[in-house]
Structure formats: C-alpha cells, structure tokens
Structure 1
Amino acid sequence: MADTAADLRAAVGRARRLVVKVGSSSLTSGQGGHLDLGALTALVDVLAARRADGAQVVLVSSGAIAAGIGPLGLERRPTDLATQQAAASVGQGALVAAYQAAFSRHGLTVGQVLLTADDTTRRAHYTNARRTLERLLELGVVPIVNENDTVATHEIRFGDNDRLAALVADLVGADGLVLLTDVDALHDGPPSRAGSRRVPFVATTADLEAVTIGGTGSAVGSGGMVTKVEAAGIAGAAGIPTLLTRLPDVEDALAGADVGTVFAPAAATRASRKRWLAHATTARGTLVLDDGAVVALTQRRTSLLPAGITAVTGSFAAGDPVDLCAADGTVIARGLVTYASGELPRLLGRTTRDLARELGPAYQREVVHRDDLVVL
C-alpha cells in the first residue's frame, strides 16, 4: 500500500471500486427543508464520469430526513424518533427520485439499499447485504445506500452515515472511501477559529493528538468531524484509504489534487464480519466474566461458556450483541449471544455437560460462539 499523501490521493482517485458518502448539509438548502438539486446534480456528474472510466461506485447518501422537513411543514430537523422516521419516509422517496433522474441523464440506473445495523451484524443478513450490493455492481447499477431511518430504533441505529459508509466500503471490498461534507478538510482546530490550519494528511492516529475535533454544526445533519475521523479509522482497519473533502472539491479530489484530508490505511487485522461486529453494533446488555474466561477469550480465542459468566445485565434476545466484561467493568469483547437475558441467570457458573444432563441437549452450547465474537 502506498504510504505518502500524494500516492494515497492518487490511489483513491483511480479506485476501481469507490464508496462515496455525502452528508445532509451538502445536499439540502440552507434551511435544510428541501433538496439542493444543483448540488446533487453536480455530484452525480462527477460520479457518472468515474463510472464512464470503468470504476464501480457505491453512493452512501444522507438527506432523507432533511428532505422530508419541508414537505411535512416542519421548521427544523425533528429530535424525536417517531417524527424522524416520518420525515425519512417522506424524504427518502424524493431523494432517490432525484438521484434516478440525475443518473439517468448519463444512462445509469440506481438501486436503493436501506440498511440497519441489525441487518449487517447477524450472519445471514450480513451475507445478504453483501450479495445484494455485489449483484447490483455486477449489473452496472449505482447503489444508493442509506440507513433505514423509517424502521431503525435508537438501539439498532448506525448513528450516522459516516460510519455506515466505512462499513459499506469494508463490506464491498472498496479500494477507496470519499467522505463529502460542508467543511473543506480536517483542521487542527475549529475551522472558524483564526489561525486554524488544514491537516492534509493523517498517517497514523498519533497525527491526531494535536487536533481539536468538533461535532456537527449543521441544523440538518447528525454527524460531525468526530464521526468522519472514526469512519476513516474503520475503513483504515480494512486497508482502505479515506479522503475527506467538501462536495464542490470532489472532482479535483478524485483527480489527485491536494485538497481535503487523506487518511492512510492500516493493515487489516480482523475478518470483515468481525469488523462489522466491533463497529456497527450497540450492545444490548453485558456479561461479566471471571478471570479464567477472560484469559480463554483474549489469549486462547475460545467461545464463551456459561461456566465463565458471573453476572448478566440488560435485556436482550438470542442473537443480540452484548459486551463481555472483566470483573472490573472493562469491556474486553463483543459478541452475539445465543441465549435471551431471561434464560441466562440459572445457567451461570455451570458446565455445559451438567446443563445438558439436567435441562436437555439444547443447553450443551456456547453462550457466545467464537465465530460471533470479536476481542476489542
């Protein structure tokens, strides 16, 4: 992998499979109530040119909630979940229709893909999401990905489309990730502060130690610079370079110009699905482990058995993500549990052999299988 800023910019620009994320504030009017069709069309023109050059493009687009604000007669982005879902239901149709119209001018077809975190951490759903995206790309379609805001709850949300974009880049094996926002780059302080300077290149996390990273200043977005840096880290863990810039500079950015901020990737250290489990899930509960179980999970990479669990907190169903903690509360791993929270208390500290003898062979199983567990 190239390790200089110029090489990484060139690598993103010539990516054969590119994931591009655009934020709500870049696609909507100043008040956030209506789509800015000029900005949307300008973005589509650039992406269509990349398609014409032979690249495959996946577009992760925010804007559904923001696009629904005006038609619903709302004055600002709603804060309650039910109204957000209603706005997304209205706005998502308008958003995809606008993209279809813009891409069709270039002879391209779009396909809508709506995801929740739950869809992408459970094994079968994860496989289905990847298969769908792969097939769309094979057919020459431009997938338009968004979080499924109409059904996502607080517990199963990605939380922002920056993280979703990084995870999608990992899912499809992208060669580059571009994050488009209304700020030209990462700065070493708030961009509005006098003397704040652009950070053109982030080689390692150590480069961020002197950087003050703020949240969103947008009335319509849900992310901010923090989420973009986190997304670059998620993509970097999958070996994918990330370029952060503003929408008006995307054409120059993809041509290798010195705009925005480029983040160097790290060597991939986990299987793709386990990176999803680490980054895309929110734990529904906690399992507290004894010292022996901590060693078994972290050093021997075993599955978690009932005998190693000392306490259970939270309410969860079988298949939900849970945090696995040491006795001092330190989270050491996350995994998909095979029992509901109500079933576990009577099993704690007992061997699977004893449980099978007393309760039946169905209880001779792991609480978290090692294939569904990632050490953090």
Structure 2
Amino acid sequence: MTLADRSHMPDAERVVIKIGSSSLTGPDGRLDVQAVRALVDVIAARHLAGGQVVLVTSGSVAAGIDPLGLASRPRDLATAQAAASVGQGMLIARYSEAFAAHGLRSAQVLLTAEDTVRRGHYRNAQRSLERLLELGVVPIVNENDAVATNEIRFGDNDRLAALVSHLVRADAMILLTDVDGLYDGPPDRPGASQISVVNSPQEIEHIDIGGTGSAVGTGGMVTKIAAMSIATTSGIPTILTKATNVAGALAGEQVGTWFAVTGKRTTRRRLWLGHAARVRGRLVLDDGAVQAIKRGGASLLPAGITDVKGEFDAGDPVELVDPAGGVVARGLVAFDSTELPELIGRSTHWLRERLGEGYDREVVHRDDLVLARVRL
C-alpha cells in the first residue's frame, strides 16, 4: 500500500524502524538497557496487534566502548572492529531478552556492504528477511561491523535501512535519532523551526544539513536525508523523529518530519542497480545518446559511446556519463571492457557486417538501465 500521509501509519502492515547509537547509549557511552526495552515495548505492541516490524539498529561499536575501557569511539578500523565484536553480543542479548519478555522471538541479521553490492547476496538477504517475517520473528538488522573492510560504517545504517525497507517491501520507514525532526537550520540556533512535511527534495534544497553524528554514532543529517531520498523515490514514505516519539509515529500522530513519496515503487533489481550496486567502470556517451537515455525507453548502442573507462566483465554494473562526466544512468553492460573499444562509435549494421552476429546487440539494454537520481 501507499500511505498518503502520516495519519495512515496505523494501517501500515510492514514498517522498518532504524535507531541510531546516540538513542541507545548514555552520555558515558554505555548501552542504555532502559532505552532498548522502551523501544522493544513499542515494537512488540505493534507486532502483537498484527503488524510486522523490521528493526535496523546501530550501537554495536558504542556498546563495546565501555567493556574495552575505551575513552571514546575508536577511530582506527581494528579497534572499531574489536569494539563491534564485543558490543554486538551485548546488544543482541539485550534485544532478545526484551522481546522474550513479550513472548516474541527475534533474530540477528548481520549484513555487510558486500551483501548489498553483490546481486546474489542481495537476493539471499531478501529471502532470509521475508522468511523470518513469515515465521513471526522480529528481524534485528545491523551492519556486520566486525568484518567490515572498507569503512566501519554504512552511513550509520541509514542507507542500509532504506535498502532493507525496499527489500522487504515496507509500507513505511521510521528513522529514530536524537533530534525530533528536520529543522530549517541548526536545531540549536535561535529561531530555527521544525519542518512538519517534506513533499519534494526541492523544498529543502536551501537548508544547511551539514555536520556529523554524535560522539558514539557516525551518521549525521546528510546520511539521513540521503536514506530518505532512496526510500521516498522508491515509493516508501519516511518519518524522522526522536526515539521517544516512536509510538506516536506508528500511531500517526504529528511527530517529527514526514517525507512524502516522490516516486513509484520499483523492482528490487532496479533498486539494487540504482543504489546498492558497486559500479565497475564508466561509459562516456555522446550528446545524442545522452538525450536518448534521458528521455527513457532507449537502450545504449555502441554508436553512442565515445570512451570506455575502467575494467569490467560482461554483466557488471557501470555508470553511463555525459561528455562532461555527469552521471546519466547506471546499467548492466553486455560486453567486457576489453571488447568495447573496437566497437564504440560503430553502427549496428557495420558491426554485424564486419564482426558477425552478436556484436550488433545493445551495450546496455533498456531493461538493465536505471536513470540517475540526485543524491544528497
């Protein structure tokens, strides 16, 4: 279903809730067990009333800070991984205890960036989450920080929550943080006002949303706006609010900021290609090909390509860029990077006559192509 506004939140059958580290820990960095229980009480009530909730939680690194005797969140990867290894066990144990008090089962689902950039892993994650929900289990999703290799964070799990929302075809997403919504300026600035509803990205283009996360978290408002863009352009409305407002958000009360849907639901494959896939190279297009792609409905032919950048195999995701380097689209390429140079700029007739059948096919078929959207 598509929720027209927040008053329809009680009708949402499946909701993804993401909570940040700062909402789960105290000023000293210790895991706040009461905060965990308060969140679980609300989720359990929704579940027992017939709804489904997927919880995306941060906090594993923060939970490991105190047991390891660290003064603050570690900056080096090895120590952060160690803290995550210690903290993840503590975090999931507290969640399990809290859900068990309501007679509910929960399950830990650890994901890495690799699970979202490889299509096979992405589909496996989707099947696992769907089956857990069918069995009446509350999935608790977190990035597998203990084995993360590129960065210890995934945008503080905000982007991960948006991808999970699409994976499970959620009716809505709720991002819980330490502020009660989006403001038209820094919340601590005199005169700053909370924004109740955002109907399009253009409405907030003028707002300064810079800044980093809390001392125990890693994401700031930028990552949250980016996550909400992924969700809303994919047909999933989003609420940004404080953790203490989660019950009100689920009940459709006027809390936080409502981000309305700006696009239609798309297939999981297209979302994976547009937001989760790791591109392996670039195809530079001429102006004619750019216009054909932007208008939609056109496949990319060899004649429209002027240059090939990077190394990739047939079937890999690549970016399609204009002559100035601006990203026009993403797509799955049908040729290896070693094959393409001799094909570019050639007509399909020339390729068929000189190289034979098969070389006159599309470089990127329109069914394997997703137009680029603005990323904040």
TM-superposed CA distance for 1:306, in Å, is 4.7
Which of 8, 12, 16 in structure 1 is aligned with 2:13?
16
Q: Provide closer, same or farther for how the CA distance between residues 323 and 86 of structure 1 changes in structure 2, counting only shifts above 3 A.
A: farther
2:327 corresponds in structure 1 to: 331
How many Å separate the matches in 1 of 2:151 and 2:68?
26
Q: How far apart are residue 82 of structure 1 and its match?
A: 3.9
Paired amino acid for 1:11: H
Is 2:235 aligned against 1:239? yes
**Counterpart in 1 of 2:22?**
25
2:131 to 129, 132, 135: 135
Q: Secondary structure at the match of 2:40?
A: helix
Tell me which amino acid in the other structure corresponds to 1:197. S
In structure 1, which of residues 151, 154, 178 is the aligned counterpart of residue 150 of structure 2? 154
Aligned counterpart for 2:71 among listed residues 45, 61, 75: 75
Aligned twin of 1:65: 61
Identical aligned residues as a percent: 61
**1:150 aligned counterpart, secondary structure:** helix
C-alpha contact 1:12 1:241 (8 A) present in aligned 2: no
Q: Which residue of 1 aligns with 2:283?
A: 287
SS at match of 2:255: coil
Residue 26 of structure 1 contacts residue 182 of structure 1 at CA under 8 Å; is this kept in 2? yes
Give 2:163's match in structure 1, choosing from 167, 192, 197.
167
Equivalences for residues 21-100 of structure 1 within 5 A: 21-32=18-29, 34-100=30-96
Match of 2:17, SS?
strand
Relative to the length of structure 2, the TM-score reads: 0.86
How far did residue 193 of structure 1 move?
1.0
TM-score scaled to structure 1, two decimals?
A: 0.86
Equivalence for 1:120: 116
The question of whether the paired residues in 1 share the 8 Å contact of 2:173 and 2:238 is answered with yes
1:185 aligned to 2:169? Answer: no
Q: Structure 2 vs 1, CA of residues 267 and 349 (structure 1 numbering), >3 Å: closer, same or farther?
A: closer
1:118 and 1:156 in contact (8 A); partners too: no
Give the structure 2 partner of residue 313 of structure 1.
Answer: 309
Paired residue total: 371
**1:164-186 deviations in Å (ceiling 9; x for gaps):** 11221122111111110011111
| Alpha-carbon contact 2:145-2:152 (below 8 Å) kept | no
Q: Which amino acid aligns with 2:150?
A: H
* SS of match in other structure, 2:183: coil
Cα deviation digits, residues 314-359 of structure 1 (max 9, x gap):
4556654322111121210112445565665455446789889999
Rate the CA distance shift 1:326–1:204 in 2: closer, same or farther, 3 A.
Answer: closer
Residues 362 and 85 (structure 1), Cα distance of their counterparts in 2 relative to 1, 3 Å cut: farther
Q: Supply the distance in 1 between the matched residues of 2:315 and 2:64 (Cα, whole angstroms).
A: 33
Instruction: Give 5+ residue unaligned stretches, structure 2.
Output: none
Gaps of 5+ in 1: none
Task: Report deviation, 1:219.
Answer: 1.2
Give the match's secondary structure for 2:329.
strand
Q: Once the two structures are superposed, what CA deviation does each residue of 1:271-304 show, in whole Å capped at 9, x if it has no partner?
A: 3431332223453432212344434433463444
One of 197, 205, 212 as aligned partner of 2:208? 212
Structure 1 window deviating more from structure 2 (193-202 vs 304-313): it is 304-313
